Structure 1
């Protein structure tokens, strides 16, 4: 049996005689049995007949003239748009060519073979940087390491929750002696060594990496004493205030626990199995959130009660290199080598210039074509 929705869709086609025999018969049966669809059919039929009987409208006398003027106006607008588009494309082609040429030239000159490499070893560079960092740290030794955020939204007397982390690198003559000092210091600070890793190098020197956990109130003191055990080559101290997040989460946890208790009371008063299942499902969801919040609070409490110090102790070699007197021996060989190096660099530079010219050539042609196109359209205008 045809429904009203489908019948309303087929009525216009029925009036126009576009339905097949089966659809036509089915629709006629539906219209006979459905008063609403029958009214809709009569309404559409009357509208179509009224439109067919309407006399044709007479056009104004100047209708053709106005249409022609509008067409000419639209044509002029399109031609102006085309002109602007052509100019824009020409400028874009020239700009793109220039940018591509610049990029290719920059890439060629940034080749690693054109860089002048320093003869100083990497270790010496790191040592110099570390020494500079150590001087800066010593100059700011009396400054406050940690800054507390404002007390906005927190009750008076609320203890701050701050996570503290530090990374310290030391160079010492005897790594074992330094390790013993660190072990004793951490023990006195009521902390512990979380992990320890020792590496022995080919020159029999050692490096020990330690992860120390110390009480939050003794964190700065321990770092200051560790710095005295050797030469500081790297030092980084980070802190993060999680006070607001901590107490906000704690308040949300308390609210969830109250909500859980209320649901338990509702559970006890439930009279149907359906009500009991719905309440139990909600209780399980809230308990899951409560457990997740408790775990997060526990993590923050552990992080804020103990500071973490990542300590790297490197033993420096005790072998001293003998001082030698610089002589003029081999100066002729050095001069020859310098001359060969200069010639090689000159040849290399010429090769690169040739490559640049080859790369620039097609873009120069493209830029020239773009310029010619621009001049052509400029003259036409």
Structure 2
């Protein structure tokens, strides 16, 4: 009986040792496996996601920047202005030609001026407003009206100023809506008057910015072209120039005589006064000698 008990005890101890050894070997390995598995999965999942997100972010930023630049280039606000000086011998019918040209390119004449110089040269000046899309074609056609003597092209970029005006207008419109909401909620007369005062101020600013934007739209949509057309100066001066020179000389002589007469008339009373004092002094001096 004792031998059986001893054998059973040894068997139990052996089994317990086997269980303990297997348990101690399995627990760390599974924990390590789990920890490594989870971390590797996380890094495997996170790293591509992060890389994907970064690449997407970069591409989106690049696309948005490109779109912004292209939109700014497309919506750029430029005021165009040109000055042309032409020379043409025969100016007969020039008014009709300029009017027809402006009408052909959907523009109009703002003002015109015609005069003749002293050497009998005729001069015509026109200011045209032409749609910007027809600006280049109209300039080419205007140069065909005569010999080109001078050409100036000017462009003013107002894109940034225009965008700032639009942003300020948007802000003031938002303020107007807010004041209208407050006005509807106000119950006190004093508060209503204060809100109306601020509302009028904001509306004044809105009208000011809207007027400025309309002015810029008009200047951008329609380019300004100033055209001067003149006859060529005469090669040989005519005899009228000599006659005019004699006339100018006579006028100068008459003017100098007038100035001398005015000078004598101004000094004559003083001359009489000085002569009178001199005579009195002489009489007194002669009387004392006697």
When normalised by structure 2's length, the TM-score is: 0.54
Tell me what 1:289 maps to. Answer: 205
Q: Deviation at 1:247?
A: 2.6
Describe the superposition over 1:200-222 as per-residue Cα deviations: whole angstroms up to 9, x where unpaired: 23443310111111111111221
Tell me what 2:54 maps to. Answer: none
Cα 1:156–1:298 change in 2 (3 A) is closer
Taking the aligned partners of 2:69 and 2:212, their CA distance within structure 1 comes to 21
Tell me what 1:196 maps to. Answer: 112
Residues 165 and 309 in structure 1, CA contact (< 8 A), matched pair in contact too = yes
Taking the aligned partners of 1:245 and 1:321, their CA distance within structure 2 comes to 54
Taking the aligned partners of 1:316 and 1:296, their CA distance within structure 2 comes to 42
Tell me what 1:186 maps to. Answer: 102
Q: Give the match's secondary structure for 2:92.
A: helix
Cα 1:248–1:153 change in 2 (3 A) is farther
Taking the aligned partners of 1:315 and 1:227, their CA distance within structure 2 comes to 15
Q: How does 1:90-109 map to 2 (within 5 A)?
A: none
Taking the aligned partners of 1:272 and 1:219, their CA distance within structure 2 comes to 59
Q: Deviation at 1:306?
A: 0.4
- Unmatched 5+ residue regions in structure 1? 1-149, 323-381
Of 177, 180, 194, which aligns to 1:261? 177
Tell me what 1:208 maps to. Answer: 124
Tell me what 1:175 maps to. Answer: 91
Cα 1:286–1:237 change in 2 (3 A) is same
1:280 equivalenced with 2:196 (yes/no): yes
Cα 1:152–1:240 change in 2 (3 A) is farther
Of 148, 161, 174, which aligns to 1:245? 161
Taking the aligned partners of 1:277 and 1:321, their CA distance within structure 2 comes to 79
Structure with the larger helix share: 2
Q: Deviation at 1:190?
A: 0.5
Taking the aligned partners of 2:153 and 2:67, their CA distance within structure 1 comes to 23
Q: Deviation at 1:282?
A: 1.2
Residues 172 and 178 in structure 1, CA contact (< 8 A), matched pair in contact too = no
Cα 1:231–1:151 change in 2 (3 A) is farther
Pairs aligned (count)? 172
Q: Deviation at 1:186?
A: 1.1
Taking the aligned partners of 1:293 and 1:191, their CA distance within structure 2 comes to 27
Describe the superposition over 1:296-342 as per-residue Cα deviations: whole angstroms up to 9, x where unpaired: 0011011001000111111125x6549xxxxxxxxxxxxxxxxxxxx
Cα 1:241–1:174 change in 2 (3 A) is same
Taking the aligned partners of 2:110 and 2:220, their CA distance within structure 1 comes to 16
1:229 equivalenced with 2:145 (yes/no): yes
Q: Deviation at 1:156?
A: 6.3
Cα 1:158–1:284 change in 2 (3 A) is farther
Residues 256 and 286 in structure 1, CA contact (< 8 A), matched pair in contact too = yes
- Unmatched 5+ residue regions in structure 2? 1-65, 238-290
Residues 175 and 315 in structure 1, CA contact (< 8 A), matched pair in contact too = yes
Q: Deviation at 1:271?
A: 2.0
Tell me what 1:299 maps to. Answer: 215
Taking the aligned partners of 1:188 and 1:272, their CA distance within structure 2 comes to 62
Describe the superposition over 1:154-174 as per-residue Cα deviations: whole angstroms up to 9, x where unpaired: 846852221111111111111
Q: How does 1:1-381 map to 2 (within 5 A)?
A: 155=71, 158-317=74-233, 321=236
Tell me what 2:254 maps to. Answer: none
Measured on the aligned residues, the alpha-carbon RMSD in Å equals 2.4
Q: Give the match's secondary structure for 2:212.
A: helix
Residues 189 and 215 in structure 1, CA contact (< 8 A), matched pair in contact too = yes
Taking the aligned partners of 2:70 and 2:194, their CA distance within structure 1 comes to 37
